[in-house]
């Protein structure tokens, strides 16, 4: 395991785990954490040995309490604008990396913490976790994609209810709303998220996963006919791969396929 100032990064059996490591500040996002998180994801983009990524927080109290308001209070208005630009870009890079990203929400996830979870592909939460886009209670609005990703996930009306009120929701309600996909006990959360990630690594072709993610993400932004055309193009990418040939051969030979990402 390699340690940097604000995150911990480890790799095992094709799964990379990133731990936000500022427990003394509820894993809040400051300039340093944001810079290291963005660097880590850029490195993982090019790391073919990593097929899935799990993001979680240090400890059991907080996944990420949002922006570090102590640091934010010391910023000039222009510095705030530049910080928001960087955090928006980082969330988009997380969303668009051609590998599945799983949020293991181990506690409080407010503001930018919920926005980080929204940028991930799949969200697991501990039973005691709380989520919320609480920015309006601070006289601002979600600025790292929350106003756009939340309604795409839970619907426009529910997103407005949550953002306008700034209220927090516990994991059971988050599951009911579609804000998370699964929840688990706090002592089993990281294992559940990692096991799911490893099942993707062990049972699927990496090119197929990247193209499926591309088709889903981009297809949601266009009309159905255009989305179907995107799907057709994404499928076309998989046809000449050796992984597809290997899958057919393994099926005929009644064995597990050995995917290489080619």
Contact 134, 108 (CB under 8 A): no
Computed over its alpha carbons, how large is the radius of gyration of the chain? 19
DSSP output for 108-125: EEETHHHHHHHHSSEEEE
Residues identified as active-site: 67, 112, 115, 135
CA torsion sign for 28, 32, 90, 68 is positive
**Dist CA 64 CA 96 (whole Å):** 21
Place of tokens 């890079």: 93
Give exposure, 9-24, as e/b (b: 16+ Cβ within 10 Å): beeeebbbbbbbbbee
């Amino acid at each position: 395991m390699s340690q940097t100032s604000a995150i911990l990064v480890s790799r095992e059996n094709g799964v990379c785990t990133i731990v936000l490591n500022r427990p003394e500040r509820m894993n809040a996002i400051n300039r340093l954490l944001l810079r290291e998180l963005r660097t880590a994801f850029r490195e993982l983009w090019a790391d073919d040995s990593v097929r899935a990524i799990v993001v979680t927080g240090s400890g059991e109290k907080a996944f990420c309490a949002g922006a570090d308001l102590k640091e934010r209070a010391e910023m000039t208005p222009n510095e705030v604008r530049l910080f928001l630009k960087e955090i928006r870009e980082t969330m988009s890079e997380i969303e668009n990396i051609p590998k599945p990203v799983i949020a293991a929400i181990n506690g409080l996830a407010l503001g930018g913490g919920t926005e980080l979870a929204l940028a991930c592909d799949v969200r697991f939460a501990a039973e005691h976790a709380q989520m919320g886009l609480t920015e309006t209670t601070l006289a601002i609005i979600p600025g790292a994609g929350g106003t756009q990703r939340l309604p795409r996930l839970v619907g426009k009306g529910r997103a407005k209810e949550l953002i306008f009120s700034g209220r927090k929701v516990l994991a059971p309600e988050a599951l009911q709303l579609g804000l998370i996909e699964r929840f688990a006990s706090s002592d089993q959360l990281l294992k559940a998220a990692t096991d799911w990630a490893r099942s993707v690594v062990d049972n699927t072709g990496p090119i197929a996963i990247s193209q499926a993610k591309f088709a889903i993400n981009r297809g949601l932004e266009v009309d159905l006919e255009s989305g179907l055309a995107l799907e057709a193009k994404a499928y076309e990418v998989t046809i000449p791969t050796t992984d597809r040939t290997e899958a057919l051969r393994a099926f005929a030979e009644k064995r597990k396929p050995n995917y290489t990402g080619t």
